Structure 1
């Protein structure tokens, strides 16, 4: 009998390499401490908003019996309705949107023009001019009230929304100029030289090259200028004395009397004043995030 010996096959496909699983780094004690501190800070920030939300839909009887921390026993909306009708809230809302929107747009445009001259144009005494813009932004508003009051009285713009728009445009653009001058000071010279070789003038370089590249930073400034102007109180209170021109923060302050204050109606007014800025922030949240992280990753 003949026997056959089978040889092992050498043409078998090689075994596929095993995929190495990436081990997640273990969290250290420091990481857990930072996480706990961040959660506590978040709770502390959210607590006032939660308190306003609870008391906005609480009746005065519930507030007097249970205090500010107890949940309402019934859904009470009279506080919102009373504030809406008492101050003509749609009118105040439009005043705030108009003033804040105009200030945001004009401040960004003025900041771009100033920063283009200081950061890229390299004017003489550039450093001292930027320091003056910074000092102007640090002046307290109380020190500006009387000179501004006298000036706008003379030109006939007192009790006019444009007085507040002009004031805050100058104030906000001082900060915008200081910030954008630092950004434009590090602008790539190769891009500007290439644009000038193609025949572009200064204005065309500004609007076709500099502005599109710095659009994320300008978007962040636009959002911040809008929110900062919306929350301003002292200057609108001083320069907008008639009821038709007042903004939302000034209208909210009208609910506080010398001897009596309706807490539930005041909470409802604070909620109505907070909702527009919250909606504005949520709409432009992605734009804000992109603008802040634009220079972090090349």
Structure 2
């Protein structure tokens, strides 16, 4: 007697559209996060707003009505005083030259060091990378006297070149640590294929590694420029002549022991901050693309 087996009914659950309440919750959460980000951004812009407010206020108006009052008139003498007394064009050129040179050289040195450590597999690379990490953690106050002494010995004291060399080494320590970690995960098959095709290490670096690291290098370039632009302690010690000083050092010269012209200081801070803001706005898209590319990789 033949027995017929009937296949058991199998019910498959098809994923349905997300519940309406879940969509509302996610939408509400996004708006809450966006609102918190907007509040934080406004809080960060408050000091900048006060600086703009007091940059166009006369000293009498500032002392009478305080820093929170609206200017009674459009006062521009503070800007003119800072421009004239600080010799702002010279300080702007010095800061731009030092920050730009450090950014380019530090990125180049970081790339070469990281290529040797991350791909070349130098003996003891873990210890070397750890040494670079410790160098990043060392405070600048501990470096001031040795740097001052060495600059005096080699005749580079009170020159822009001394500051460029110092910050190139400091910034490249961070860049080497970061890029060495990135290059340690670089696809080995790609490098082996290039070596089989007869490419040397120099060609591998500039034809294969460099194009893949271009977004990361662009981010480092922007960071190195802004970090060097804002440096104060080492330029204050190493640059004593008005013709070699940078913008942060020029701002510090406006403040005396017992007297400070607040409107002039705010005006100087405003026009000293503008170049860095303009630089950031110009390369904002590059920064965003670099971070996004690094996240995707």
Task: Give me the TM-score of the superposition, normalised by structure 2.
Answer: 0.90
Q: Deviations over 1:227-252 (max 9, x none)?
A: 00000000000000111100000000
Where structure 1 has 5 or more consecutive residues not aligned to the other structure, the ranges are 1-19
- Larger CA Rg, structure 1 vs 2: 1
1:36: how far off? 3.5
- 2:195 matched residue in structure 1: 196
The number of residues matched between the two structures is 279
Preserved CA contact (<8 Å) 2:117 2:125: yes
1:25 paired with 2:20, answer: no
Where structure 2 has 5 or more consecutive residues not aligned to the other structure, the ranges are 1-16
Q: Deviations over 1:39-78 (max 9, x none)?
A: 2211211111111111111111221222111121221111
Identify the range of structure 1 (61-70 vs 239-248) with the bigger mean alpha-carbon deviation.
61-70
Secondary structure of the corresponding residue to residue 44 of structure 1: helix
User: What CA distance in whole angstroms lies between the structure 1 residues aligned with 2:228 and 2:295?
Assistant: 28
- 1:279 matched residue in structure 2: 278
Q: Structure 2 matches for 1:145-156, cutoff 5 A?
A: 145-156=144-155
- 1:139 matched residue in structure 2: 138
Secondary structure of the corresponding residue to residue 295 of structure 2: coil
Identify the range of structure 1 (53-62 vs 223-232) with the bigger mean alpha-carbon deviation.
53-62
User: What CA distance in whole angstroms lies between the structure 1 residues aligned with 2:282 and 2:97?
Assistant: 18
- 1:5 matched residue in structure 2: none
Task: Give me the TM-score of the superposition, normalised by structure 1.
Answer: 0.90
1:33: how far off? 4.3
1:31: how far off? 4.3
1:221 paired with 2:220, answer: yes
Identify the range of structure 1 (278-287 vs 25-34) with the bigger mean alpha-carbon deviation.
25-34
Q: Deviations over 1:189-209 (max 9, x none)?
A: 122122212211000000111
Q: Deviations over 1:79-128 (max 9, x none)?
A: 10110000110000000000001101110000000000000111111111
Secondary structure of the corresponding residue to residue 198 of structure 2: coil
Q: Structure 2 matches for 1:227-246, cutoff 5 A?
A: 227-246=226-245
User: What CA distance in whole angstroms lies between the structure 1 residues aligned with 2:171 and 2:246?
Assistant: 18
User: What CA distance in whole angstroms lies between the structure 2 residues aligned with 1:125 and 1:194?
Assistant: 26
User: What CA distance in whole angstroms lies between the structure 2 residues aligned with 1:253 and 1:26?
Assistant: 53
- 1:93 matched residue in structure 2: 92
Q: Structure 2 matches for 1:7-86, cutoff 5 A?
A: 25-27=23-25, 30-86=29-85
